[in-house]
Amino acid sequence: MVILTTIGFVRHGVTAWNKEGRAQGSSDVPLDDEGIEMAERVAERLYKEQWDVIYTSHLIRAKKTAEIIAAKMPDMELIEDARLREISGGLIEGTTEAERIEKWGEDWRQQDMGFETHESIVSRGMESIEDIKNKHAGKRVLVVSHGGLIKRLLQELITDTKYDANLDNTSLTIVELKDDQNSCELFNCTAHLQMSAES
């Protein structure tokens, strides 16, 4: 069994909208102070591991997380890829669940909210992963992106297990792309956030 490429998916640090329960989607919301600290924690962890290149969504919350990681590894190339952006939430972006119910009613999920289609999400996301696999065969690649997109990509890449849990901010999920069957070696790991700042 040949490992073609290893992908380390990192979800961005936390934002004010995350804390308020607001749908972010393609809205360009920055990290808050805690989000920056979380990014510094994951950067400290990844710096001690072996990685070859970083890809990031162009949205500022992911890009800033990636830049903080890259700052710890100055020899590493950082590549922006808009295909790694979060799923577009259409009309619900910027709203909380309570606001959605107030505006559209309890059954808002059954209405046309202008969400990005599953086909569009999977098409652009998998196209990016295929390009990464082709350009960086046998390498270890960090992909800094968003919870919704990473979950969809996991469902496409790992077909024998369901990954339904939401991904935590700055969590690390490692997937090995193999010639026969891909495998998930680590899922939603936030051990770096539990460590004391000194360690």
CATH of the domain at 42: 3.40.50.1240
Catalytically annotated residue among 12, 136, 146, 192: 12
Q: Is 199 part of a structural domain of the chain?
A: no
Q: Is 23 part of a structural domain of the chain?
A: yes
Q: Is 49 part of a structural domain of the chain?
A: yes
Give the global pTM: 0.95
Q: Is 164 part of a structural domain of the chain?
A: yes
Q: Is 54 part of a structural domain of the chain?
A: yes
The total number of structural domains in the chain stands at 1
Tens digits of pLDDT across the chain (199 residues): 677 899 999 999 999 999 999 999 999 999 999 999 999 999 999 999 999 999 999 999 999 999 999 999 989 999 999 999 999 999 999 999 999 999 999 999 999 999 999 999 999 999 999 999 999 999 999 999 999 999 999 999 998 888 888 999 999 999 999 988 999 999 999 999 997 554 4
Catalytically annotated residue among 40, 86, 93, 176: 86
Tokens of 85: 């952006």
Active-site residue flag, 12? yes
Structural domain including 162 reads 3-194
Q: Is 72 part of a structural domain of the chain?
A: yes
Give the CA distances from residue 24 to residues 19, 31, 62, 67, 112, in Å, rounded to whole numbers and listed in that order: 11, 12, 12, 20, 18
Per the DSSP assignment, residues forming a β-bridge with 177 are 5
Q: Is 171 part of a structural domain of the chain?
A: yes
